[in-house]
Structure 1
Amino acid sequence: PAPQTKWRAAVKAAGGPVGRNMLEDLSLLTLDTLQKCIFSHDSHCQEQRSEYIAAILELSTLVVRRQQRLLHHTSWLYRLSADGRRFARACATVHSFTANVVQRRRRELNSLGHQAWLKGRQGRSMDFIDLLLLTKDEDGNTLSDEDISAEADTFMFEGHDTTASGLAWLLYNLAHHPHYQEQCRQEVRELLKGRDVEEIEWEDLSLLPFTTMCIKESLRLHPPITAVSRRCTEDIAMRDGRVIPKGTAHLGHDVPSVPIPPVYNPMRFSPENSQGRSPLAFIPFSAGPRNCIGQSFAMAEMKAVAALTLARFAIRPDPARPVRRRTELILRTEDGLWLQLEPLSGMP
């Protein structure tokens, strides 16, 4: 669920609409969600400090800072620096947590046997670690503990900041376009038809077409990942006669030859306007065999959080805190992404 308890408490304390840094709140939300879905672990990091979550956040900061310091590009120099030592400690914390979970599950699987282990999981959803433990290749070989840990760490590290950025910019765009925000809200209410918003089901997420259009348009206008690195292995002739030469690399959000209208218009992604469009015309999750491993997960999470949030809060721009974009590993802002939250009448 969205961090609504925290927001309601802030609104109550302020006695009215309250400004919140959406990037900060939603980053903790996505970290909390990932820990639950990957490890079946309740971190409660939205209410209290978690050593593991603190290490993930520190790694994100250190990676960006290393890119900005030329001397730190050399690995042995970086390892000797204060930042390098902090990076090593944070990595050890993250790797130790993941390895302990994987090893504990592996021992349980080996002790109980395959069938008994599966039977013991009936009645609850399997998490990411469970699925990886059961994965086999075409020759029947399972993944090693190290392979599973690497996949889990990748999903965790790459999945929190990107989804938080996507969610924050979605709410930013809906705050600046209240008619679209209200249309999303009515779509959620019509779907639920008297059910509490907390009762939204997995199947419901595919029945939010306009909300999905709003998410896609937000990803087009404010993509969390602003560049996709690909290199042409041969000359590519375009239909208009132009040639992309061999060796060309990089496709970015700000490429001058690709027109990107700065107007937020979800109708670009209506079924009528999407008909006949190349699947490579919109690639917020990259494309091809190396596309984003978590794109379905991210889209489902964004739909769920949007539904939970819009059903209970009106979102407005915060005029006291203008938003200035800043590109790091993801699309962030200089001083946070602040929006005003106002509880809707009759909100439970």
Structure 2
Amino acid sequence: MENFGLSMLLAILALICGISYACMTLTRKARLLARFPCPGKFPIVGSIPYIFGPIDDAAILFENLINKFGRRVVLWLGPNPLALVILADADGAQKILSSVNYDKGSFYSHFKWLLGKGLITSDGQLWKDDRKLLGPSFKYQKLTGFLPIFNKHSKTLVEILTRTQNQTTNVYPRLARATMDFIKESAFSQDSNFQINDDNFLAATRMALDSFRLRLAIPPLTLVPIIWDRFGLGKQDKVCSELINQAMSKAIEKRKIALALEEKSGMSGADVNYPIQKPFIDVLLDSKSEKDIIAHIVTIFGAGFETTASGMNYTLFLLASNPSAQEKVHLELDSIFGGDINRDVTLNDLSDMKYLEMCIKEALRIFPPVPLVSRNAQEDIHLSTTEKSYRKELRLWFSSVKSCKIRSTTRIPTFSIRTDFSQRNAQLDIHTHIPFSAGPRNCIGMKYAWIQMKTCLAHILRRFRVSTSQKREDISLIYGLTLDVKPQLEIVLTPK
């Protein structure tokens, strides 16, 4: 009887292995994807043995895969195999990101517990409606109405950085607090002082980022909720979510009261020196429930503060590493501001900061704050290629195949695509440089981020010169929701 039970167990295991391997080799999708290189695949585990390793090594792993197998690589993951297509070439990225027939990808489901149905996580008609609703608020000319906010908090940041001048320091935490002040005040039209005071919202934000990173670093923890809860992580997420929702609910109620008072008194908060710009919440109040408003505002916070702070941090580090480029930035800023280190940045000033903008773009090219972009296709798509092993009419199937229940997705590593830059005669093609993604689902806050970064860096670099003893080759990249580096970047701020 024992032998019979063991034989049945082995037979079931063999059947599972056979079905799993057949899905990776015999299905229509598998046959089409076979035209792309794959490091290897085994029953049940797929290509996992070839990519298994610490999360800190993910960037190196991606680079090694691309260097060995080319810029289009297929990985098969798990017993119910997910076909993960890595595209690291500009032509492939253009095809994928320009298509309207793609969802954001299962990658982003890790964030729904906090971001709800915001623009990052939603799909279909809901996303189209919300993008149309919020889009006008992110037009460049309107966003310059936030310049008083960005100038005010940038000056606060500079005064805080003065306390660390002539010392080796990691400026990223200070940059992050400043960008949170930018976003809170422009989102709610309420005073913000994250740079001065710590509070529960800031602590909850840190908890959320830690949770996101852990979910991406150890996916098996999230497969079964009881496992996540067993480690106390579910309770932590609940506390984090409650703190953020409470803070947002208070801010929403406060804004409603302020609007009611303005309407009653006929007051207007517009500054005559700048275009009128409503806080983002005002666009949502008349058409969304409080739950949906919170989802959108938290999404703006989550997508905006860390990525923008990281972009400025990388720019300062690279300028510190390149004195000649830094000198050109100083000369440009001196020509714009005439040596005045306190004057507010204006709309015309932003247009004149051409060399600073080039430096920021180069920093985002080398250190893209968001290292991976994920998409799930909803229909077949042609990917043209000049390589003889591929046919021009090749159709890749990325959507679900109901008969085998295989899911598939496309990952586009923005860090790897950047290496195409030199191959295009140094022309910054939109799909070789995608720190804000590209196509219909690009980052809605791209222009908002540019105004923030140029304004804030102009204040910092009018006051300080930056230097560093660190070398780029000593910096390791860590993939996650955003790009991290190890060790932390450290610079010295010296008064000009």
* TM-score band w.r.t. shorter chain: 0.7 to 0.9
Partner of 2:311 in structure 1?
A: 166
1:10 equivalenced with 2:164 (yes/no): yes
Deviations along 1:127-156, one digit per CA (max 9) or x if unpaired, are 22223336xxxxxxx233222221111001
Q: 1:108·1:117 contact (CA, 8 Å) conserved in 2? A: no
Instruction: Please tell me the root mean square deviation across aligned C-alpha atoms, in Å.
Output: 2.9
Q: 1:22·1:336 contact (CA, 8 Å) conserved in 2? A: no
1:154 equivalenced with 2:299 (yes/no): yes
Deviations along 1:58-113, one digit per CA (max 9) or x if unpaired, are 1101221233342344234324542221111111111111122223433554x569
When residues 131 and 195 of structure 1 are mapped into structure 2, their CA distance, relative to the original with a 3 A threshold, is: farther
Partner of 1:83 in structure 2?
A: 233
1:30 equivalenced with 2:170 (yes/no): no
1:129 equivalenced with 2:281 (yes/no): yes
1:10 counterpart SS class:
coil
1:68 equivalenced with 2:214 (yes/no): no
1:246 equivalenced with 2:397 (yes/no): yes
Q: 1:226·1:253 contact (CA, 8 Å) conserved in 2? A: yes
What runs of 5+ residues in structure 2 fail to find an aligned partner? 1-153, 399-408
1:179 equivalenced with 2:324 (yes/no): yes
1:291 counterpart SS class:
coil
Partner of 2:382 in structure 1?
A: 236
AA in 1 matched with 2:412? L
When residues 122 and 314 of structure 1 are mapped into structure 2, their CA distance, relative to the original with a 3 A threshold, is: closer
Deviations along 1:302-328, one digit per CA (max 9) or x if unpaired, are 111221111111111134995332222
When residues 261 and 176 of structure 1 are mapped into structure 2, their CA distance, relative to the original with a 3 A threshold, is: farther
Q: Greater shift after overlay, 164-173 or 330-339?
A: 330-339
When residues 253 and 87 of structure 1 are mapped into structure 2, their CA distance, relative to the original with a 3 A threshold, is: same
Deviation of residue 253 (structure 1)?
2.9
Q: 1:170·1:215 contact (CA, 8 Å) conserved in 2? A: yes
- How far apart, CA to CA, are the structure 2 residues paired with 1:34 and 1:153? 10
Partner of 2:485 in structure 1?
A: 333
Partner of 2:465 in structure 1?
A: 314
Partner of 2:476 in structure 1?
A: 324
Partner of 1:53 in structure 2?
A: 202
Partner of 2:253 in structure 1?
A: 103
Q: 2:365·2:418 contact (CA, 8 Å) conserved in 1? A: no
Partner of 2:355 in structure 1?
A: 210
Q: TM-score scaled to structure 2, two decimals?
A: 0.58
Q: 1:220·1:282 contact (CA, 8 Å) conserved in 2? A: yes
- How far apart, CA to CA, are the structure 2 residues paired with 1:75 and 1:56? 22
When residues 166 and 31 of structure 1 are mapped into structure 2, their CA distance, relative to the original with a 3 A threshold, is: same
When residues 302 and 112 of structure 1 are mapped into structure 2, their CA distance, relative to the original with a 3 A threshold, is: closer
Q: 1:52·1:94 contact (CA, 8 Å) conserved in 2? A: yes
Partner of 2:3 in structure 1?
A: none
Q: 2:478·2:484 contact (CA, 8 Å) conserved in 1? A: yes
AA in 1 matched with 2:468? P
When residues 4 and 107 of structure 1 are mapped into structure 2, their CA distance, relative to the original with a 3 A threshold, is: closer
- How far apart, CA to CA, are the structure 2 residues paired with 1:118 and 1:131? 19
When residues 26 and 144 of structure 1 are mapped into structure 2, their CA distance, relative to the original with a 3 A threshold, is: same
Q: 2:221·2:228 contact (CA, 8 Å) conserved in 1? A: yes
When residues 324 and 198 of structure 1 are mapped into structure 2, their CA distance, relative to the original with a 3 A threshold, is: farther
Deviations along 1:232-271, one digit per CA (max 9) or x if unpaired, are 4323242636557332611113548963559xxxx94xxx
Partner of 2:243 in structure 1?
A: 93
Higher alpha-carbon Rg: 2
1:299 equivalenced with 2:299 (yes/no): no
Deviation of residue 300 (structure 1)?
0.8
- How far apart, CA to CA, are the structure 2 residues paired with 1:202 and 1:37? 17
Partner of 2:190 in structure 1?
A: 41
Deviations along 1:150-190, one digit per CA (max 9) or x if unpaired, are 11110011211111111111111111111111111111111
- How far apart, CA to CA, are the structure 1 residues paired with 2:416 and 2:366? 13
Q: 1:236·1:246 contact (CA, 8 Å) conserved in 2? A: no
Q: 2:373·2:413 contact (CA, 8 Å) conserved in 1? A: yes
Deviation of residue 194 (structure 1)?
4.8
When residues 195 and 338 of structure 1 are mapped into structure 2, their CA distance, relative to the original with a 3 A threshold, is: closer
- How far apart, CA to CA, are the structure 1 residues paired with 2:418 and 2:330? 36
Q: 1:66·1:72 contact (CA, 8 Å) conserved in 2? A: yes
- How far apart, CA to CA, are the structure 2 residues paired with 1:73 and 1:23? 33
When residues 311 and 196 of structure 1 are mapped into structure 2, their CA distance, relative to the original with a 3 A threshold, is: closer
When residues 244 and 41 of structure 1 are mapped into structure 2, their CA distance, relative to the original with a 3 A threshold, is: farther
- How far apart, CA to CA, are the structure 2 residues paired with 1:257 and 1:150? 32
When residues 260 and 253 of structure 1 are mapped into structure 2, their CA distance, relative to the original with a 3 A threshold, is: farther
Deviation of residue 330 (structure 1)?
1.0
Deviation of residue 223 (structure 1)?
0.2
Q: TM-score scaled to structure 1, two decimals?
A: 0.81
Give the aligned length.
319
Partner of 1:20 in structure 2?
A: 169
1:221 equivalenced with 2:382 (yes/no): no
- How far apart, CA to CA, are the structure 2 residues paired with 1:122 and 1:260? 43
AA in 2 matched with 1:339? I
